[in-house]
Amino acid sequence: MERPVRPFFPRLHITQAIVKQSDLPDTLAQRMRHTPYQAYSYSYPHKAAYRPLAQPEGLAQLWAEQDRSALFAYIHIPFCAMRCGFCNLFAMAKPKPDMVDRYVEQVIRQMRVLDGVLGERQFARFAIGGGTPTYLSPGQLERLLNAAQDILHIDLHATPAGIEASPETVTPEKLAVCRAAGIDRVSLGIQSFAANEMRSLARPQQNHVVHEAIGHIRAAGFPTLNLDLIYGIAGQTVESLLASIESALAFAPEELYLYPLYVRQYTGLGKVAARNGAVSFDPIVLDHGGDSRLQLYQAARDHLRARGYVQVSMRMFRAPHAPEQNGPSYCCQDDGMVGLGAGARAYTRRLHYSSDYAVERAGTIDIINDFLSLDEARFAQAEHGIALGPHEQRRRYVIQSLLTDPGLDTAAYIARFGTDCMQDLPQLLELGALDLLQERDGVLRLNDRGYSYADTIGPWLVSEEVRTLMADGGQAC
């Protein structure tokens, strides 16, 4: 018989633990007095902690140390038709056509170098993100996808493979190229079906364009459609958010992501906020008396569950009709990522590396131009990133496991590191004390209350060393 899910700590210990922890600086209990929306921990360490390496590191030796039996290949396309007001990703709007052509050819050149330095390998995942990958022409997409198969030897028909898209850049021709190559998942950024909310996001969009794009995706036969929505938009209510969710559910997406809105410095919305008198973009410093995001999130979560969707993380919900995940096993906590293109991160166990990062247009263009100037010798080395010692590797494993389903497998942690996660990260004790965690069969998983505070828990688990680097890089945590 399956063991029931239970709180991680008996209720008897909760008050004692809170009293003991509450006197410490920067405890989770203290952070939870502020908004739950403090930072999105989608990867660890955050890219703001990356720095120029003291000495460039050769990729051949670096990857020789890494298990290469289940790699993730990611191609970054830093181009868009427009720059959304909320976007702080590495991307630029309306590049010159010549820059896009040169960029595609340079990524293929980078593939040839990586083919030589990676050695024997197998890929378990493939994705093209951005930016907006479907900003590329059908011919450019075909060139990249063919190169991924012919040069990197990725069997896209046997490997889970996805691409990101925006409604205004979707065409039947582009989708046909992607589907024929083996892409099986399209993620479409919609954000909202309410016109006034899209204006608040500084992203003009017509619903008929969204409907046409989804129709093209369905007609092309992609097994998985993901739709992205945003909550916390100025003027948004529970009713209007649920109306957008219902509009999305009318297309029966296999996956649906709900993203809380963050207003960040250097974005379009951030610049508006600064003109209106905002003195800080640290979510813990700002006055959040009117923050409605938690209420919106909980209403949306409950609505999706009532419609049969299963929560996978704070942001991700999967439909009961979604395809079985039968592809090769990939563990983001442990397996490597091969990043291609400007802004793409690459991970091994002991080193994370990428190009530099910028949000504003001038800095982004400079970084892309630097990428376009790289020769084979520079493609064969890492120059910018962060080294992960044993302590940071353990912390990364915990953060990446805990914030998503199925959770942190304590036996797998011991098998990987030879130590106990509770001893390595005593902070985990406070999660149990605050009734944010549940345990079943040795797996620690955030409960509903824990998922509501995932964007508090992630930043709280960041090490002091990484937190300092991020602060120096202008990113609060």
Among residues 283, 302, 318, which one ends one of the domains? Answer: 318
pLDDT value of residue 160? 97
CA-CA distance, 90 to 79, in Å (whole number)?
Answer: 9
Domain membership flag for residue 359: no
pLDDT cut 90: percent of the chain above it = 81
pLDDT value of residue 279? 66
80 and 17 within one domain? no
Domain membership flag for residue 91: yes
pLDDT value of residue 22? 35
165 pLDDT higher than 80: yes
278 and 420 within one domain? no
Domain membership flag for residue 51: no
pLDDT value of residue 477? 59
Residue keyed to tokens 């409907």: 211
pLDDT cut 70: percent of the chain above it = 92
Domain membership flag for residue 356: no
User: Which tens digit of pLDDT belongs to each residue from 262-280?
Assistant: 998 888 888 888 888 876 6
CATH code for position 192: 3.80.30.20
13 pLDDT higher than 70: no
99 and 18 within one domain? no
pLDDT value of residue 8? 46
Domain membership flag for residue 346: no
Confidence band for 46, pLDDT divided at 50, 70 and 90: very high
Q: What are phi and psi of 278, to 5 degrees?
A: -65, 130
292 and 408 within one domain? no
* Domain of residue 180, residue span: 57-318
466 pLDDT higher than 60: yes
Q: Whole-prediction pTM value?
A: 0.92
80 and 13 within one domain? no
Low-confidence winner among 8-22, 378-392, 433-447 (lowest mean pLDDT):
8-22
CA-CA distance, 143 to 86, in Å (whole number)?
Answer: 31
149 and 91 within one domain? yes
Domain membership flag for residue 162: yes
26 and 103 within one domain? no
Single-letter amino acid, residue 20: K
Q: How many domains does the chain have?
A: 2
10 and 126 within one domain? no
User: Which tens digit of pLDDT belongs to each residue from 29-39?
Assistant: 999 998 899 99
434 pLDDT higher than 70: yes
User: Which tens digit of pLDDT belongs to each residue from 352-381?
Assistant: 999 998 888 999 999 999 999 999 999 999
CATH code for position 447: 1.10.10
393 and 301 within one domain? no
61 and 24 within one domain? no
250 pLDDT higher than 60: yes
**Dihedral (Cα; 45, 50, 56, 57), 10-degree rounding:** 10
Domain membership flag for residue 339: no
Residue keyed to tokens 């709900």: 258
Among residues 269, 290, 318, which one ends one of the domains? Answer: 318
Domain membership flag for residue 333: no
What is the DSSP code string of 144-200? HHHHHHHTS---TTTS-EEEEE-GGG--HHHHHHHHHHT--EEEEEEE-S-HHHHHH
pLDDT value of residue 264? 86
Pairing of strands 351-353, 381-387: antiparallel
User: Which tens digit of pLDDT belongs to each residue from 72-90?
Assistant: 999 999 999 998 989 888 9
174 and 66 within one domain? yes
419 and 300 within one domain? no
User: Which tens digit of pLDDT belongs to each residue from 186-233?
Assistant: 999 999 999 999 999 999 899 999 999 999 999 999 999 999 999 999
Within 8 A by CB and 6+ apart from 114, the residues are 59, 152, 338, 340, 379
CA-CA distance, 470 to 464, in Å (whole number)?
Answer: 10
Among residues 272, 294, 318, which one ends one of the domains? Answer: 318
CA-closest candidate to residue 20, choices 29, 11, 8: 29
